A and B are shown apart, each in its own frame.
Chain A
Amino acid sequence: MEFAAHCPWLSDDGPDTDVVMSCRVRLARNLARFPFVGRADDAQRKELCNIARQVVLSGNLADGMIWVDLNHATARDRQLLVERHLISKNLAEADIPRAVAVSGDETLSVMVNEEDHLRMQLLAPGLRLVELVERINVVDDAIEAKVDYAFSPRWGYLTACPTNLGTGIRLSVMMHLPALKLTSEIDRVRRAAKDLHLAVRGYYGEGSESAGDFYQISNQVTLGSSEQDLLREFDQRVLPRIIEYEQHARRMLVDDNATLLDDRIHRALGTLRSARLLGAEEAMKLLSRLRLGVHLGRLPDLNITAINRLLLQVQPAHLQTYVAADLNSEQLREARATLMRQTLQ
């Protein structure tokens, strides 16, 4: 499987990338006259894959679209796609006919036979949801020109689970909130998010733990408001407040607790430069501290893109691809530590 040398979200080139690592918009769509994926049989699922393949590859949706038949992909390739946030863990691990189409620049992916027939998503670094919503709408129109979507006047776009009903849109951001974590304010964000009907999830979305102070925050309500209203609420009202809250906590750390802050940052760097065995979670936690340090100007010799790249490279499938070998968990820990020492000296 070939990929571009970079993930779109590795870049530091976007608005508010100090706090918003990346943003994503996803649409859930189903084809009319087919059962939902969970109730379809394998023949129907295959047919859905075939239709999607034809529509997506002939639709001029993006440059260099590639089609990955996940039933023929190796476990490591599937895991690579998960680590790059191009498919969900569920889709990687499912045992049914399924596929994903990915654009050459890895910004667009269309999952086929996840919970819904089609799950199309766009990714970008920083906070650029307005642009992404516009673009996904174009992608959606291009697909809709060739298939009939399941739609009801009352309920909107019909989805397998009613929690995605209506617009089928999920706006999400991967936020880096280390200062709120350090100052134990993160629980207040969680509570506020709950009150605002937002979901706070871990690094790999649904069902995953937050690793390295990264939190995926997304809208939960998909029905009853237009896409633009949902976007406005999330992008202009909710997110700026969380961003400001994190930035404020960072300023407070610098002003009132600079020694503690520098201690945490340099201990992280020290560990990463010296460790001989490193777990993925520990590595992410330490890299998170470096990321904070770079953004606060405490580590002038490092840059964000390099740290973002390491955040990706410490993941198991990327690490094994990097060393070109299958590794057990102990070997992975060793390879991870070696990579860190080589990169951060």
Chain B
Amino acid sequence: MNPLKCDYCDKPAVVHEVTVKNGQKNEVHLCEEHAQEAGVALPSHQPLNQLLTQFVISQTSKGKAMAKKPCPTCGMTYRRFRQTGNLGCPDCYQAFEEQLAPLIQRAQNGADHHRGKTPRRAGASDDRQLQIRQLVRELDEAVADEQYERAAQLRDRLRGLDPQSPGSKAVAEPDNEPHLSES
């Protein structure tokens, strides 16, 4: 059997559309090029399973790339963490933060932030600086996500920190607030 030709050229048709309207049958046959021109979704020459395999592989390879990137401090991989349940070193929390955050929230009844004791020792001032930076970042994110209640809480927490610290000063300044009041 000869393959049907395109309605517009001699190339073999790859898209066949049959519509029946008021008892009238209407057939359209298009080649790849003309189908594309007509904006018709193309059936691929590749079998579906091949397509899917590639889809799955491309997804997992993306996932793998993420998971394969080891912690720069201890060389731990995320994949290994999923196998053992234990991280390699304190820095892993930063290295895998993106993947860990949802997992931690699930394990910790939705909590995604520490509230409680903080070390009082000398290093703590560095921690406060870090805390301020972290809070500022989170505040920006909260505002960007239009989570204004959370933003207000974060701002209160920042104000609770040393007023001399640059982070809390910056946020306390009215200039930094317009996007909060704009809503």
Q: Is the CB of B114 within 8 A of A153?
A: yes
Q: Is the CB of A223 within 8 A of B86?
A: no
CA distance A230 to B183 in the complex (A): 36
Which residues does A use to contact B, with CB under 8 Å? Answer: 30, 32, 34-36, 38-39, 115, 137, 140-141, 144-145, 148-158, 160-163, 165-167, 169, 197, 220-227, 229
Secondary structure class of chain B's binding surface, majority of residues: loop
CA distance A165 to B94 in the complex (A): 14
Choice from A39, A158, A163 contacting B93 with Cβ under 8 Å:
A158
Taking CB as reference atom, which chain B residue is nearest A152? B93
Interface segment, one of B2-10, B39-47, B117-125: B117-125
Taking CB as reference atom, which chain B residue is nearest A159? B87
User: Can you list 15 pairs linking A and B with CB atoms under 8 Å apart?
Assistant: A32-B123, A36-B87, A152-B90, A153-B130, A162-B87, A162-B100, A165-B104, A166-B111, A167-B117, A220-B109, A221-B109, A222-B108, A224-B109, A224-B114, A227-B117
Q: Is the CB of B127 within 8 A of A224?
A: no
Q: Is the CB of A30 within 8 A of B116?
A: no
Within residues 85 to 131 of chain B, which ones have a CB less than 8 A from any CB in chain A?
85-90, 93-94, 100, 103-104, 107-121, 123, 127, 130-131
Q: Which chain A residues border B89 with CB–CB below 8 Å?
A: 34-36, 39
Q: Is the CB of B85 within 8 A of A166?
A: no
Q: Is the CB of B90 within 8 A of A150?
A: yes
Choice from A35, A148, A167 contacting B116 with Cβ under 8 Å:
A167
B181 on interface, CB distance cutoff 8 Å: no
Given A153-B118, A223-B114; 17 other pairs, CB 8 A cutoff:
A34-B89, A35-B89, A36-B86, A144-B119, A152-B93, A152-B114, A155-B113, A156-B114, A158-B93, A161-B85, A162-B103, A163-B108, A166-B108, A166-B115, A221-B108, A223-B104, A229-B115
Q: Is the CB of B93 within 8 A of A225?
A: no
Q: Is the CB of A154 within 8 A of B113?
A: yes
CA distance A148 to B76 in the complex (A): 22
Taking CB as reference atom, which chain A residue is nearest B124? A151
Q: Which chain B residues border A39 with CB–CB below 8 Å?
A: 74, 76, 86, 88-89
Q: Which chain B residues border A144 with CB–CB below 8 Å?
A: 119-121
Choice from A141, A152, A225 contacting B115 with Cβ under 8 Å:
A225
Q: Which chain A residues border B108 with CB–CB below 8 Å?
A: 162-163, 165-166, 221-224
The distance from the CB of A218 to the nearest CB of chain B, in whole angstroms, is 14
Choice from B94, B100, B115, B135 contacting A226 with Cβ under 8 Å:
B115
Q: Which chain A residues border B104 with CB–CB below 8 Å?
A: 155, 162, 165, 223
B176 on interface, CB distance cutoff 8 Å: no
CA distance A225 to B115 in the complex (A): 5
B84 on interface, CB distance cutoff 8 Å: yes
Q: Which chain A residues border B118 with CB–CB below 8 Å?
A: 151, 153, 156
The distance from the CB of A139 to the nearest CB of chain B, in whole angstroms, is 13
